[in-house]
């Protein structure tokens, strides 16, 4: 498998050649959503970035096992929030069972991912489905001396870990620096050290989601599920671990520590982090009122949006930025992306019908090399899209007779477009949903048949047509000028 793919590794802080541990296999683990509310646009961008990576690795011929988990235990999400059961909280708010909340928002998440044409992961494990594995991992960490029990809670012992390993190697943070930034020492007296994090939390009486363990009823710490599920499905060490950059600390740093405590080394060879979204230059947040849900973006049903945009336009728009750059949303940028997307897909559409000649004045091989060079440079989709616009220019000029193309070059251009537009970027044409006047024509025909039946006093046929149309929610009204029809909602 000859290729020169380079990817940016957060661990080393630089681009490195991609060399899988056991080629042609590639293990890819991405931290999935916590399913207690609608998937937000930032999730969409993160998972779309890893969809691009997954698609390109497959395109290169790697046999990828893509694991993306569902966090369905509503535990701690930050140190400050410790003990907050977000799923339980939402269940009380919506008066539903916690697992109804999980089901509802998992379905919502899957629908958004499908609309954006993301390939599903090969394994989508849930935290609640891996309670035994998580408890086993805590036992191992305790046995190795990197955790301690405190009043039914188990904490990871950062000081013990620091003596042997490098805590902070992924995020580049050191404990002293963290200490000076810590303001929430109150109420954490069960911990020996401020940076210790929970592996297991004792459930308070009002905590709904709880499991039995050797340390009593409780629930696992958030960081633990990814360590135990990635180990189960991809092994103690696998190729790529990814997530949004907001997960780098404490989530991923804690994963590294947990895995290292168990096996002596971190879980992944390459760590990949995606950047954030902004709206007209400011961070998207609920409190600023500029947080837009994917569905609101598709329908345009949001005060900040002029109108809705097709999921394929949104996908194209997101791919126009490199995954490590921030992506700024605005109405103007989306409208520009829509025009660009239409221009690209119009070129793709006429490619098959291009006339061929005995000679070519287009350099398809050169263009192909540029497309691979872009993707091999840390999955640079914006540069790839620029190259594909060069292909569109080539196609349009040939269609207008200003350039010539041979049958062989045309076939390789078709293959290039199939590979990069369809397979790697995952862009589909937007189906034309208008029926081209077919329904109007059919209704004219049906009402004409009915009028003839009435003229022949064939009331049976006339009534049957009217009644069957009612079943289709089409109401026929007879008037002086003949019959008219309308669709009832």
Which positions touch Zn ion (CB under 5 A)?
A: 31, 226
Nearer to Zn ion, 254 or 380 (CB): 254
> What does DSSP assign to residue 2?
-
> What is the nearest approach in angstroms of Zn ion to the Cβ of residue 159?
24
Nearer to Zn ion, 82 or 409 (CB): 82
Q: At what angle do helices 407-417 and 381-399 cross, to 10 degrees?
A: 150
Q: What secondary structure does DSSP assign to 437-448, as a single string?
A: THHHHHHHHHHH
Nearer to Zn ion, 30 or 446 (CB): 30
Contact 412, 364 (CB under 8 A): yes
Nearest alpha carbon to residue 102 among 125, 124, 73: 73
CA 135 – CA 225 distance, rounded (Å): 10
CA 58 to chain centre: 17
Give the number of other Cβ atoms within 10 Å of residue 307's Cβ. Answer: 11
Q: What are phi and psi of 189, to 5 degrees?
A: -70, -20
Question: 3-state DSSP call for residue 316?
Answer: helix
Question: 3-state DSSP call for residue 156?
Answer: strand
Beta-sheet pairing, 327-329 with 6-9: unpaired
> What does DSSP assign to residue 430?
P
> What is the nearest approach in angstroms of Zn ion to the Cβ of residue 251?
6
Nearer to Zn ion, 84 or 403 (CB): 84
Q: What secondary structure does DSSP assign to 260-274, as a single string?
A: HHHHSS-SEEEEEEE
> What is the nearest approach in angstroms of Zn ion to the Cβ of residue 485?
56
Helix (H) or strand (E) holding 319: helix 311-319
Nearer to Zn ion, 255 or 378 (CB): 255
> What is the nearest approach in angstroms of Zn ion to the Cβ of residue 77?
11
> What is the nearest approach in angstroms of Zn ion to the Cβ of residue 361?
52
CA 35 – CA 101 distance, rounded (Å): 7
Whole-Å CA distances, 263 to 227, 267, 394: 11, 9, 54
> What is the nearest approach in angstroms of Zn ion to the Cβ of residue 268?
11
> What does DSSP assign to residue 129?
G
> What is the nearest approach in angstroms of Zn ion to the Cβ of residue 130?
12
Question: 3-state DSSP call for residue 106?
Answer: helix
Question: With the C-alpha atoms ordered 245, 250, 256, 258, is the resulting torsion angle positive or negative?
Answer: negative
* Both tokens assigned to 329: 């949303």
Nearer to Zn ion, 32 or 168 (CB): 32
């Amino acid at each position: 498998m000859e290729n020169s793919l380079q990817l940016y590794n957060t661990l080393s802080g630089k681009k490195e050649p991609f060399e899988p541990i056991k080629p042609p296999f590639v293990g890819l683990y991405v931290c999935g959503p916590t399913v207690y509310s609608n998937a937000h646009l930032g999730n969409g961008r993160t998972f779309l970035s890893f969809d691009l990576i997954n698609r390109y690795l497959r395109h290169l011929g790697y046999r990828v096992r893509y694991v993306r988990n569902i966090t369905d235990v509503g535990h701690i999400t930050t140190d400050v929030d410790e003990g907050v059961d977000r799923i339980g909280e939402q269940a009380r708010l919506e008066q539903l069972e916690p697992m109804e909340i999980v089901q509802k928002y998992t379905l919502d998440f899957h629908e958004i991912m499908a609309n954006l044409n993301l390939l599903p992961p090969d394994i989508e494990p849930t935290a609640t489905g891996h309670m035994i594995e998580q408890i086993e991992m805590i036992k191992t960490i305790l046995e190795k001396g990197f955790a301690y029990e405190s009043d039914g809670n188990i904490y990871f012992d950062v000081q013990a870990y620091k003596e042997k390993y490098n805590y902070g190697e992924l995020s580049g943070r050191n404990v002293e620096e963290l200490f000076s930034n810590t303001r929430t020492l109150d109420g954490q007296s069960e911990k020996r050290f401020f940076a210790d994090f929970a592996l297991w939390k004792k459930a308070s009486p009002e905590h709904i989601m709880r499991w039995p363990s050797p340390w009593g009823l409780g629930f696992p710490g958030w960081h633990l599920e990814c360590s135990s599920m990635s180990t189960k499905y991809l092994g103690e060490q696998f190729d790529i671990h990814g997530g949004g950059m907001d997960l780098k600390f404490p989530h991923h740093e804690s994963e590294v520590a947990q895995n290292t405590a168990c096996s002596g080394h971190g879980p992944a060879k390459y760590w990949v982090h995606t950047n954030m979204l902004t709206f007209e230059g400011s961070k998207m947040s609920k409190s600023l009122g500029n947080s837009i849900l994917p569905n609101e973006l598709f329908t345009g049903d949001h005060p900040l949006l002029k109108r809705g945009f097709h999921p394929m336009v949104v996908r194209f728009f997101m791919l126009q930025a490199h995954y490590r750059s921030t992506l700024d949303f605005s109405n103007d940028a989306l409208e520009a992306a829509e025009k660009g997307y239409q221009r690209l897909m119009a070129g793709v559409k006429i490619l098959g019908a291009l006339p061929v000649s005995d000679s070519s004045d287009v350099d398809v091989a050169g263009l192909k090399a540029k497309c691979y060079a872009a993707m091999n440079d840390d999955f640079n989709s914006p540069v790839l899209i620029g190259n594909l616009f060069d292909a569109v220019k080539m196609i349009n000029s040939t269609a207008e007779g200003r350039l010539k193309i041979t049958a062989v070059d045309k076939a390789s251009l078709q293959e290039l477009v199939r590979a990069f537009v369809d397979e790697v970027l995952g862009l589909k044409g937007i189906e034309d949903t208008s029926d081209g006047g077919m329904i109007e024509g059919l209704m004219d025909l049906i009402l004409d048949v009915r009028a003839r039946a009435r003229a022949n006093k064939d009331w049976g046929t006339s009534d049957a047509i009217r009644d069957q149309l009612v079943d289709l929610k089409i109401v026929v009204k007879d008037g002086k000028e003949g019959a008219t029809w309308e669709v009832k909602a």
